Amino acid sequence: MPIAPLYVHRAVENGDDIRAYAARCGLPFARPSAEMHVTIARSLAPVDWRDMQPPHAETIVILIKHGRLHRLGNAVVLAFTSPILTNRWQSFRAAGASWRWPTYQPHVTITYRPLPGWNPALTPSFSGCLVLGPEQWDAETTFALNPPAETETAFTPRMTLASAAS
Q: Which pLDDT tens digits describe the chain residue by residue (166 residues)?
A: 679 999 999 999 999 999 999 999 999 889 999 999 999 999 999 999 999 999 999 999 999 999 999 999 889 999 999 999 999 999 999 999 999 888 999 999 999 999 889 999 999 999 999 999 999 999 865 554 444 444 555 555 443 333 333 3
Q: Which of 9, 39, 70, 86 is catalytic?
A: 39
pLDDT at res. 24:
95
| Catalytic residue, candidates 9, 59, 103, 107 | 107
State how far the alpha carbon of 162 is from the alpha carbons of 15, 158, 159, 166, in Å.
21, 11, 8, 7
Active site residue 66: no
pLDDT of residue 141: 56
Q: What is the pLDDT of residue 166?
A: 38
Evaluate whether 134 touches 69 at the Cβ level (below 8 Å): no
Nearest CA-CA partner of 21 in 121, 127, 113, 100: 127
Give, rounded to a whole angstrom, the gap between the first and last alpha carbons of the chain.
56
pLDDT given at position 26: 94
Instruction: Note the pLDDT of residue 146.
Output: 43
| 56: annotated active-site residue | no
**Which among 9, 37, 56, 70 is annotated as catalytic?**
37
- The pLDDT, as a whole number, for residue 74 is 87
3-state helix, strand, coil in the chain (%, to 5): 25, 35, 40
Using CA atoms, how far apart are residues 35 and 23, in angstroms rounded to an integer? 17
Residue 107 bears catalytic tag: yes
Q: Which residues pair with 70 in a beta bridge?
A: 77
Active site residue 109: yes
What is residue 4's predicted lDDT score, i.e. its pLDDT?
92
Q: Which of 10, 9, 11, 16 is nearest to 33 (CA)?
A: 16
CA distances from 134 to 37, 60, 165 (A): 11, 8, 36
